Amino acid sequence: MAALHLLGGDQLTDLLLIIVSAALVNNFVLIQFLGLCPFMGVSSRIDSALGMSFATTFVLTLSSVVAYLLQTLLLIPLDAMWLRTLAFIVAIAVAVQFTELALKKTSPLLHSVLGIYLPLITTNCAVLGVALLNTNRAHTLAESAFYGIGAALGFSLVLILFAGVRERLQLADIPAPFRGASIALITAGFMALAFMGFTGMIRL
Amino acid sequence: MADYQIRRCERQLEGGIHPETQKALSTTDSCIFVGDPKRLVFPIHFSGGGPGEALVAVADIVSQGTPIIKCQSGITHVASRAGKVIDIIDHEIAHPAATKSASIIIEPSGLEDQNYLDPLVWPFDADTLRNRAIEAGILGLGGAGFPSFKKWSEGMQTLIINGAECQPYLTTDDTLMRIDTHSMIRGASMLSQSLDIKTIIIGIEDNKPEVLEAIESALKESCSDCFFDVVLLDTKYPSGSERHLVWLTLGIEVPTGSHAVESGVIVHNPGTLAALSRAIDGKPITDRIVTLTGEALAAPQNIVVPIGAPISHLIEATDTNPESLTSITIGGPMMGYSVTNFTAGITKTTNCLLAREVDIPPESPCIRCGACATVCPVRLQPQQMVFALKGGSLDRAIHEGLTDCIECAACNAVCPSHIPLAEWFRLGRFEARDKANDQRLAAKARERFEARNMRLKRISLEKEAKRAVRQAKTADALEKARKARKESA
Amino acid sequence: MTDALWTIGAGVAGLSVIALLGGILLQYASKGFSVDGNPLVNSIDALLPQTQCGQCGHPGCKPYAEAIAGGEPINRCPPGGQDTVDRLASLLGVDILPLDADDATTEQDLVAIIIEKDCIGCTKCIQACPVDAIVGAAKLMHTVIVDECTGCDLCVEPCPVDCIDMIPRPKSPDYWMPTRPNIISSDRCGQIGIQHG
Amino acid sequence: MIKRPNYPPMDTQIVMCTVLIALVPGVIAMTLFFGVGVLLNLATAIPAALAAEAICLGLRQRPILPRLNDLSAVLTGALIALSLPQAAPWWLIILASTSSIMLGKHLYGGLGQNPVNPAMLGYALMLISAPVTMTTLWIDPLATPDLSTAWLAYLGQSSDAVTGATMLDLYRTEFRALTAAEASQNPLFTQAHLGFIYGYEWVALAYLVGGLWLIYQRVITWHTPMGLLVTLTVVSAFFSFDPDTATPVWIHLTAGAGIFAAFFILTDPVSGATSPKGRLWFAIGVGILTYLIRTYGLYPDAIAFAVLLMNFAVPMIDQYTRPRIMGRGSSIRGSGGQS
């Protein structure tokens, strides 16, 4: 993306590319098929999709930073990289629990709407995936944070768009056997097909 | 000579359509009176002005002008001819509900027996005029049948005479404004002066040059103190919708959910004002002009008929055999409704009987082409609303603005899939009304439930307190008694 | 051997540190974000039909709303019908359950009416009415205020002389509803009660 | 003088028919430059689409004839036929056409219910499933094949002599290493066709004529084509400061499916945005995505993916581009929740 180099320094360009790559080209839901559970579960209404997006964005960004810090400050000095997965899951669980408490206070309706999916962010493979991919790719702190943000943006984008489509599908005259989850899964497949158009855009 | 000006409207209706007007079909220079029918039918609850009660009993003899129905809104309907009440039964009515409803049947005697009110003498105040409108049964004669006096609140700035008559085929107002111009202007002036309104706007579409001429000459003869602003509108449907006329002539957008009156504007049909003028002279509404038109009629024309005359009687007046028609549309091709039973009597709101063969092609699925949105005069998205309604979601349709629909049916006219959009919206609006009513009842029930719980709680607390006092007293007494016993022992 | 011990020690220490930090954070968060009451109850209550009939097993709609917020099934409200269940499911993001009711007639909008000539004026129905929609005094005839009656039928049982009937809610004489336009054949037929055609 | 209709034609069938007529100039131009393969595509795709439509309607126990008569399946078939490579084998065309109708349309309930453009869905499915066939079998306008060559290609034995990559593809691959001056030495530029540089431009012009006629007939509005073409022009002009690496604006507009899509694909009312403002945003989105995917992506022509991507954004666009209702302070936003 030569043009982007003209817009800012290389450092900034790289960070932007990381965001675009994580959000669109290697979209976590539609290309890497991570985080499908909340994608199918919380996409029947736009407002709950929005809430889930905010919660996931927060958790993803927070947990990728925390995971980075854990790794550099604790796991590497202790030479305990084998604990990575375990440590990350604990960190993510804490972040999710924190979000849940905060959400319960600030928006009880959203808290109830997100219901089971909120604690499930803990086991949202996208979250753990981001943390692990960050360490695999030896991202710096800023890169980790931006990768998390990019993944979250991509997740939010497809979740909200998908919720919009599903709200329309609820009114459509869908053949009886395909109603509900089946047409949603098919549509998600077509959405993944459309996102394949981004393939090859950024090679990172 | 009254002060007046004639101007062309500077605003353009957004959306709207140009249907073939077909007005020439029924336009005539004069208006004939037809003979009295054999019987007159007055629905008790559907004559306009809300549900009513009969003021007469079977076998009563009534004069022309005797009150026979009193509505909830106060409006009184009178017998349009002298005669005898022969029955009060469930009878077919000319109404989109297409049901039978309790009606008073009167057999005209043919006698010139009139029972009119006393003429009002100027000056009179607004309350006198309101009472007169109630007694004379003045309703919006344009089709909606809203009790006119309810619009006459204080602080109004403008009276608009809605002479647009934008629906195709209709020439009722056209005829009235040409042959009864003076009554209309007099009624408007009297109303304006009693309400302290200075400006009267007359809105007419530019396809009625004869009306303009008639109004101009009438205004020259009039000695009204009001300023008359005659506005020529482009011929486009639905420029005669109340909120659109207000916007076209004054530039005021009547906010959603409110009426023109709340924006300081009264809008009346020319016929209503002419009827008001006669009511001031003591004559309640007994007759009205009806346009009989359509390609299926032998002699389309405008006629003056007594209220309550059966539809078949009107059809016969055009040299057409009623049995040759399967159905007739009441109220014009756009917003009218179909009636198949011709024994129903016309009401004050029946402005047009339209007989024509229409071949509506079968409906096909909506392709979201947006033609309806292009012509929607309130800028709704009919395609989205009908998608929601057909999908079973009233809430979504309401969110899209269903309750703002004026049911003008311009969308119906342009839909390439021939979807009866306006029918869906009418149904949706009725359902929305019921739903709002349910919610209101639920809110009331919640309030009462909570109030009762509070009361029960308070009562039980009071009882508790009383019992405590009582117990304390009893304990006290016992203690005293015990002490006394001890002492005595 | 020391390596292994070191590794295990590091692991235990690392995890302990993480757990400690996380625990402290959450401890403070739970204090800082503690909530009083449950505002969700009002949103649920708004969807209930407010008949206060008690068929859900709770004395009124508000208590049932509280119970739902506490996790009770959403399908216990026969007067609300399946429609209410669907709305609740949508609000709370839970699965739609079939209505837990004996028959389908419960959805009909009814009101109580007192056969006035039979009424002995015992005031039992007045005490039973959850919305104070029955007026009257002891030994005097009672009457239902139709507009306020929710059709809960709680007054029918207590009446010692069986003088209370449930009738369909009377409509204004000029009430009417437009007919539904024909719909071209659709898989939604069942959903909106139209025959295949 | 043709009478200009007041409203869109009064029937779905007439709407579809008008669009089909508007395709005719483009089809003629394509046949002239790319050979009878175009007609073979049409002759295969349209019956396949009709058959698929009939089968689906039959399975759903719906009246078949009225839906076949409205010509919507014919139009979908025609659009997919014109989008596919001209030397495409028969199985590809049939697969593309039937999957358009069955997956793109009837899975969602048939005409008027589909959230994505059926033709573009079929195209994208084929592009993913048979990438080589879909990218190499384009006819070289300098070597218009005769009937027998076209027939052989139809049967699956295409000849390298007449096929190749498209102009857009050349710019992405071969020309990238060349300067603008070197690229202009390509025979496509040097061998002028009837005054124009190469065949693509004639085809684009023919589609433009058909498209403008559609606007004149009020079947489509100007918003969508204008939105796409202006966006594509502006974006590609903005990034073409280095003529040696960038694909020229002119190529962006005429060499790919740009004009064809602007007037015939994006204007599909069912899957597109529904308000004029929404249509504009939809087209702008497609324009930007098309440029991005064409320039940085793997696929030579990006219209299909860009259209599909924006199709998924349509419900959101619709919710935020409603016109302000008369009498209301602001326009309604959002979906108003569920049920």
The SS3 assignment for B404 reads helix
The string of pLDDT tens digits covering residues D165-215 is 777 777 777 776 777 777 777 766 666 555 556 678 888 999 999 999 999
Please say which residue of C102, C123, C149 terminates a domain.
Answer: C102
Residue D6 counted as domain residue: no
Tokens of B135: 């007694």
* D150 and D207 share one domain: no
Interatomic CA distance for residues C93 and C91, integer angstroms: 6
Lowest mean pLDDT of B66-70, B92-96, C88-92, name the range.
Answer: C88-92
Tell me the residue range of the domain where A133 lies: 49-151
Contact A98 C29 (CB under 8 A): yes
- Is B424 touching C (CB cutoff 8 A)? yes
What's the domain count of chain A? 1
A40 neighbourhood in chain C, CB within 8 Å: none
Closest to A68 measured CA to CA, from A148, A12, A14: A148
* DSSP type of residue D2: P
- Count how many Cα atoms sit within 13 Å of the Cα of residue B407 in the half-sphere of its side chain: 15
What's the CA gap between D8 and D24, in Å, rounded?
20
> Could you give the number of structural domains in chain D?
2
Both tokens assigned to D194: 């009837």
pTM listed for this prediction: 0.89
Whether D215 is in a domain gets the answer yes
Cβ contact B202:B222 at 8 Å: no
Confidence of residue C188 (pLDDT cuts 50, 70, 90): low
Q: Give the number of other CB atoms < 10 A from CB of residue D76.
A: 29
The residues near B46 (Cβ < 8 Å, ≥ 6 apart) are B93, B95, B97, B101, B347, C174
Over residues D12-28, mean pLDDT: 93
Pairing mode of beta strands B32-33, B301-306: parallel
Task: Please check the confidence at residue D260 and state whether its pLDDT lies above 70.
Answer: yes
Instruction: Sort D187 into a burial class: Cβ within 10 Å, 0-12 / 13-18 / 19+.
Output: exposed
Tokens 């304006």 correspond to what residue? B192
* Radius of gyration (C-alpha) of chain A in whole angstroms: 18
Does A2 score more than 70 pLDDT? Answer: no
Q: Which one is predicted more confidently, B41 or C23?
A: B41
Mind telling me how many Å the CA of C192 is from chain D's nearest CA?
Answer: 13
Residue-range domain boundaries for chain B: 3-35+118-291, 363-489
Compare CB distances from A90 to C18, C29, C90 and report the shortest one's residue.
C18
Say if residue B117's pLDDT is above 50. yes
CB D214 within 8 A of CB D220: yes
In this prediction, residue C189 carries a pLDDT of: 47
How do residues A34-86 score in pLDDT, each as one tens digit?
A: 888 888 888 888 877 887 888 888 888 888 888 888 888 888 887 777 888 88
Q: Do D245 and A178 touch (CB under 8 A)?
A: no
* Cα angle B199-B201-B206, degrees, rounded to a multiple of 5: 160
Mean pLDDT of A179-192: 92
Check if the beta carbon of residue A160 is closer than 8 Å to that of residue A44: no
| Per-residue pLDDT band at C176 (split at 50, 70, 90) | confident
Helix, strand, or coil here: B384?
helix
Q: CA of C18: how far to CAs of A58, A99, A131, B215, C14, in Å? A: 20, 18, 16, 90, 6
Q: Closest by alpha carbon to B384, among D112, D313, D109, C193?
A: D112
CA separation for the pair B154, B146 (Å, rounded)? 18
Q: Are residues D213 and D92 part of one domain?
A: no
Per-residue pLDDT of D43-78, as tens digits, reads: 999 999 999 999 999 998 888 888 888 899 999 999
Helix residue spans in B104-202 (DSSP H): 126-135, 172-179, 181-195
Residue matched to tokens 């960070």: A15
Residue D244 has pLDDT above 80, yes or no: no
Q: What is the mean pLDDT of residues D89-117?
A: 93
CB of C145 closer than 8 Å to CB of C161: no
Please indicate if any CB of chain B lies within 8 Å of the CB of D330: no
Identity of the residue in A46, A175, A199 whose CB atom sits nearest the CB atom of D297 = A199
Quickly state the pLDDT bin for D2 (edges 50, 70, 90): very low
In B211-258, beta strands by DSSP E: 227-233
Q: Where are the alpha helices (DSSP H) in B319-375?
A: 371-375
A window 121-180, beta carbon within 8 A of B: 170-173
Q: Tens digits of per-residue pLDDT, B429-470?
A: 999 999 899 889 888 888 888 898 899 999 999 999 999 999
Q: With beta carbons under 8 A apart, name residues in chain B contacting C48.
A: 442
Tokens read off for C156: 């029918």
Residue whose tokens read 């324009």: D287
- Tokens encoding C20: 């400690």
In DSSP terms, which residues pair with B329 in a beta bridge? B338, B354
Is the separation of the CB atoms in D237 and D296 below 8 Å?
Answer: no
Q: Is residue C92 part of a domain?
A: yes
The class (CATH top level) of B3-35+118-291 is alpha beta
Give the 3-state secondary structure of residue A134: helix
Question: What is the number of CB-based contacts under 8 A between chain C and chain D?
Answer: 11
| Pair of tokens at residue D329 | 């302070």
Residues C44 and C90 reside in one and the same domain: yes
Please give the structure tokens belonging to residue A169. 């599908």
D159 and D191 in a common domain: no
* φ/ψ (deg, to 5) at B242: -55, -50
Asked whether residue C133 carries a pLDDT value surpassing 50, the answer given is yes
**The predicted structure's pLDDT at residue C192:** 40
CATH number at residue C162: 3.30.70.20
DSSP letter string, D113-180: T-SS-HHHHHHHHHHHHSHHHHHH-EEPGGG---HHHHHHHHHT---TTTEE--HHHHHHTGGGGS-H
CATH 1.10.1060 holds for B363-489: yes
pLDDT, greater one: D307 or D182 = D307
The total number of structural domains in chain C stands at 2
Place of tokens 């049964």: B137
Instruction: Say which CATH number the domain at C83 has.
Output: 1.10.15.40
Nearest to C44 by CA among C107, C91, C80, C1: C91
Task: For D137-167, give one letter per residue: b (16+ CB within 10 A) or e.
Answer: bbbbbbebbeeebbebbbeeebeeebbbbbb
d(CA D260, CA D310): 17
What confidence score (pLDDT) does residue B428 get?
A: 94
Question: Per residue in A118-173, pLDDT tens?
Answer: 777 777 788 888 888 888 888 888 888 899 999 999 999 999 999 999 999 988 88
D151, D194: one domain: no
Q: Does residue B443 sit at the C interface (CB-CB below 8 Å)?
A: yes
The verdict on a CB contact (< 8 Å) between B393 and A171 is yes
pLDDT at B20: 83
N- to C-terminal Cα distance for chain A? Answer: 12
Lookup: tokens for B308: 């309550």
Task: From C82, C102, C122, give the residue that closes a domain.
Answer: C102
Domain that holds residue D286: 184-322
Range of the structural domain that residue C159 is part of = 108-171
- Would residue D335 count as lying in a domain? no
Q: Are residues D137 and D235 in the same domain?
A: no
Is the residue at C47 inside a domain?
yes
Q: Which chains touch B (3 or more CB pairs under 8 A)?
A: A, C, D
Question: Tokens 């009426």, residue?
Answer: B259
**Do C86 and C138 fall within a single domain?**
no
The alpha carbon of residue A46 is apart from the nearest alpha carbon of chain D, in Å, by: 7
- DSSP state letter for C118: T
Predicted confidence (pLDDT) at residue C193 exceeds the cutoff of 50: no
State whether residue B233 is helix, strand or coil. strand
Q: Encode B18-83 in three state secondary structure.
A: CCCCCHHHCCCCCCEECCCCCCEEEECCCCCCCCEEECCCCCCEECECCEEEEECCCCEEECCCCE
Instruction: Return the number of other C-beta atoms located less than 10 Å from residue D193's C-beta.
Output: 16
The pLDDT tens digits of the residues spanning B401-411 come to 999 999 999 99
Residue A103: both structure tokens together: 């959400």
User: Two tokens at B278?
Assistant: 């006669």
pLDDT category at C191 given cuts 50, 70, 90 is very low
What's the CA gap between B174 and B290, in Å, rounded?
11
B142-155 tens-digit pLDDT? 878 899 999 999 88
Task: Tell me the C-alpha distance between B446 and A74, whole Å.
Answer: 58
* Closest listed residue to residue A168, CA positions, set B340, B65, D312: D312
Cα–Cα distance for residue pair B165/B171, rounded to 1 Å: 7
